[in-house]
């Protein structure tokens, strides 16, 4: 009993992940492991599920004033873009991408940053080849925006595949053909389709267009192999899930949360 009380009293900083449905999230376990390896004994990391983004501004301010205070949050589906009006500033990366996946309280209020692009590129670089000059990005949400930003930064042409028209260069799923897929050797899935518990969920995709020269990346990491990746592998493509990106973006978020406020430039 005494040991448990001491453990709770040692927690001076709270962190967590904010989203609508978080049963699938590995972030709490990931940070618990990192805290142990880093020797961090005064911090906790929790899930914060909210059915809607409405009222988030007041909730954030209340949580930041509690003891122990909420010092930083990861932001996930579907709030990476819809939370922007509730923030008091963005880092240049978040401004350029148009989405956040990390927020923290400052003297100016809550500000947002994006480490998704950094995490994605760090996980992708070891597998990139010269043939990956054009990429199909499946989706147009916050994760897709970060992937787009990262790929543009290295000169890869992004083409989105969406259900509705968007401002970026895109096509509809119903017009995507196997012949077109053959000319896009990199495919990145950025929607939640196939995430636990929807283990058999899969987009309608012309898998016949895939070849052994293709790399198919699914940002979903739970399950480790989605139906989309299984289908891609059957057609000879190399595959990668989102676990490495999850780790890289989380570590980058931790560094940003704990950087001096003067280093957290906003625009």
Task: Yes or no: say if 50 and 78 are a contact pair by the CB < 8 Å rule.
Answer: no
Which of 114, 142, 170 delimits the end of a domain?
114
d(Cα 130, Cα 78) in Å, to the nearest integer?
33
Structural domain harbouring 195 = 118-245
How confident is the model over 246-264, as a mean pLDDT?
A: 87
Per DSSP, the residues of 169-212 read SEEEGGG--HHHHTT--EEEE-S-TT-TT-TT------GGG--T
Residues 6+ apart with CB under 8 A from 73: 15, 16, 17, 18, 48, 102, 103, 104
Token pair in block for residue 245? 């990106």
Alpha carbon of residue 121 to chain centroid: 12
How many domains is the chain partitioned into structurally?
Answer: 2
Residue 263 belongs to a domain: no
Claim to verify: residue 35 and residue 140 sit in the same structural domain = no
d(Cα 18, Cα 234) in Å, to the nearest integer?
35
Residue 1 is predicted with a pLDDT of 37
What is residue 238's three-state secondary structure? strand
Residue 250 belongs to a domain: no
pLDDT band (50, 70, 90) for residue 6:
very low
Claim to verify: residue 56 and residue 161 sit in the same structural domain = no
What is residue 44's three-state secondary structure? strand
pLDDT band (50, 70, 90) for residue 61:
very high
What is residue 261's three-state secondary structure? helix
Residue 256 belongs to a domain: no
Is the bond preceding residue 78 a cis peptide, omega within 30 degrees?
A: yes
Claim to verify: residue 82 and residue 142 sit in the same structural domain = no
- Describe the crossing of helices 243-257 and 27-38 by its angle, rounded to 10 degrees: 60
Per DSSP, the residues of 64-103 read HHSSSEEEEEEE-TT-TTTTGGG-SEE-HHHHHHT--SEE
How confident is the model over 155-170, as a mean pLDDT?
A: 91
Q: Taking the chain, what is the end-to-end CA distance rounded to the nearest angstrom? A: 48
Task: Yes or no: say if 115 and 135 are a contact pair by the CB < 8 Å rule.
Answer: no
List, by residue number, the catalytic residues: 80
Claim to verify: residue 96 and residue 158 sit in the same structural domain = no
**Exposed, middle or buried, 99 (CB in 10 Å: 0-12/13-18/19+)?**
buried
Is the bond preceding residue 197 a cis peptide, omega within 30 degrees?
A: yes
Residue 93 belongs to a domain: yes
Q: CATH number, domain at 90?
A: 3.40.50.10860
Residue 139 belongs to a domain: yes
Claim to verify: residue 95 and residue 202 sit in the same structural domain = no
Region of residue 117 (phi > 0: left; psi between -120 and 50: alpha; otherwise: beta): alpha
Claim to verify: residue 144 and residue 240 sit in the same structural domain = yes
Which of 95, 114, 133 delimits the end of a domain?
114
pLDDT band (50, 70, 90) for residue 265:
low
Residue 4 is predicted with a pLDDT of 41
pLDDT for residue 60 is more than 60: yes
Residue 167 is predicted with a pLDDT of 82
Residue 129 belongs to a domain: yes
Claim to verify: residue 147 and residue 239 sit in the same structural domain = yes
Claim to verify: residue 59 and residue 73 sit in the same structural domain = yes
Residue 48 belongs to a domain: yes
Claim to verify: residue 67 and residue 83 sit in the same structural domain = yes
Claim to verify: residue 36 and residue 93 sit in the same structural domain = yes
Which of 54, 87, 114 delimits the end of a domain?
114
Q: CATH number, domain at 201?
A: 3.40.50.720
- The dihedral over CA atoms of 92, 103, 253, 128, expressed in degrees to the nearest 10, equals -50
Tokens 């636990």 found at = 196
The residue with greater pLDDT, 140 or 265, is: 140
Claim to verify: residue 30 and residue 105 sit in the same structural domain = yes
Claim to verify: residue 183 and residue 209 sit in the same structural domain = yes
pLDDT in tens, 69-128: 999 999 999 999 999 999 999 999 999 999 999 999 999 899 999 999 999 999 999 999
Does an H or E element contain 157, and which? strand 157-162
């Amino acid at each position: 009993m005494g040991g448990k009380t001491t453990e709770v009293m040692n927690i001076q900083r709270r962190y967590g992940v904010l989203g609508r449905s978080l049963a699938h999230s590995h972030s709490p376990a990931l940070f618990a492991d990192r805290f142990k390896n880093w020797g961090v004994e005064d911090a906790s990391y929790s899930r914060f599920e909210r059915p809607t983004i409405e009222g988030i501004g007041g909730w954030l301010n209340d949580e930041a004033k509690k003891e122990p205070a909420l010092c930083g949050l990861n932001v996930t589906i579907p709030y990476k873009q819809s939370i922007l009006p509730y923030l008091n500033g963005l880092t240049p990366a978040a401004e350029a991408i148009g989405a956040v996946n990390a927020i923290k309280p400052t003297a100016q209020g809550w500000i947002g940053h994006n480490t998704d692009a950094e995490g994605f590129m760090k996980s992708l670089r070891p597998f990139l080849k010269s043939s990956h000059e054009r990429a199909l990005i499946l989706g147009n949400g916050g994760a897709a925006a970060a992937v787009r930003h990262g790929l543009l930064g290295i000169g890869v042409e992004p083409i989105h595949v969406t259900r509705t028209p968007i401002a970026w260069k895109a096509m509809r799923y119903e017009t995507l053909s196997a012949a077109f897929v053959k000319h896009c050797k990199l495919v990145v899935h950025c929607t939640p389709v196939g995430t636990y518990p929807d283990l058999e969920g899969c987009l309608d995709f012309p898998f016949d267009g895939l070849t052994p020269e293709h790399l198919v990346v699914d940002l979903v990491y739970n399950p480790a192999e989605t139906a989309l990746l299984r289908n891609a592998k059957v057609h000879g493509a190399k595959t990668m899930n989102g676990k490495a990106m999850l780790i890289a973006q989380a570590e980058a978020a931790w560094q940003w949360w704990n950087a001096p406020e003067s280093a957290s430039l906003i625009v």
